[in-house]
């Protein structure tokens, strides 16, 4: 069979022998064999369930509050108020105890004054420490973890016990003003306790952080 003059541009051009792939588009593969690109690597299929590419990370976690719940915001404000009041009361009690200890002159009065003044100073320090703790807990509500929640539960429990004791003593004395103050203390402690033991409060303190 003649292929014509190879120098004639209008003649029939010779065809490449069969079985050798050209340098253009890949040849059609036999039936049952996956097609391969010319000199490129075979394409890999994406993982099942992720067509085309791997998905990005989720935009959020369903069921996890991204904004502090309203009851926690209220408890935070109450902690700041209680902490400030406790700091003031603790400082006043400490200063009063120190002044009482230094104001007595006689020996018997000096002993009693020193004892009373020492008790006032200790009580003042204890109350002031509680105020510092309350302010610290309130400040940590925004970014604190489950440890802050547990500490707040302990603080609220002690506050409720103290308010119950004061309420019982003042009710026995029959002082209406003291009874009203005891009710307020119980209400504040109850709000703080309810805010951290609720499901929304627990989800807030246990939310993931990055």
| Band (11; pLDDT cuts 50, 70, 90) | low
Gap between the Cα atoms of 172 and 179, Å rounded: 10
Give the DSSP H/E element, type plus range, for residue 70: helix 70-103
Gap between the Cα atoms of 192 and 16, Å rounded: 87
pLDDT in tens, 83-121: 999 999 999 998 988 887 777 655 555 677 778 788 888
**Distances in Å between the alpha carbon of 33 and those of 1, 26, 103, 130?**
34, 13, 105, 78
pLDDT in tens, 165-184: 877 776 666 666 667 777 88
- What's the confidence (pLDDT) of residue 70? 92
CA neighbor of 23 nearest in space, from 37, 12, 2? 37
- What's the confidence (pLDDT) of residue 184? 86
Q: Which residue has the higher pLDDT, 57 or 195?
A: 195
Q: Are 66 and 53 in contact (CB under 8 A)?
A: no
pLDDT in tens, 117-167: 888 889 999 999 999 999 999 999 988 899 999 999 999 999 999 888 877
| Band (71; pLDDT cuts 50, 70, 90) | very high
pLDDT in tens, 15-34: 555 555 555 555 555 565 55
Q: What is the model's pTM?
A: 0.63
Gap between the Cα atoms of 209 and 127, Å rounded: 33
């Amino acid at each position: 069979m003649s292929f014509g003059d190879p120098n004639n541009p209008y003649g029939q051009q010779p065809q490449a022998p069969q079985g050798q792939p050209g340098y253009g588009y890949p040849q059609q593969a036999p039936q049952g064999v996956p097609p391969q690109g010319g000199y490129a690597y075979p394409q890999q299929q994406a993982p099942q369930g992720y067509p085309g590419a791997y998905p990005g990370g989720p935009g959020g976690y369903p069921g996890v509050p991204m904004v502090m719940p309203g009851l926690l915001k209220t408890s935070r404000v109450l902690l700041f108020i209680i902490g400030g009041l406790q700091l003031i009361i603790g400082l006043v009690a400490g200063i009063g105890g120190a002044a009482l200890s230094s104001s007595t002159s006689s020996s018997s009065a000096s002993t009693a004054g020193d004892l009373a003044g020492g008790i006032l100073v200790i009580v003042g320090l204890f109350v002031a420490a509680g105020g510092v703790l309350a302010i610290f807990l309130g400040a940590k509500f925004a970014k604190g973890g489950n440890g802050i929640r547990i500490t707040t539960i302990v603080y609220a429990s002690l506050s409720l016990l103290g308010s119950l004791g004061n309420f019982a003593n003042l009710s026995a004395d029959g002082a209406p003003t003291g009874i009203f103050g005891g009710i307020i203390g119980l209400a504040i402690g109850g709000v703080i306790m309810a805010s951290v033991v609720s499901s929304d409060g627990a989800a807030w303190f246990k939310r993931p952080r990055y």
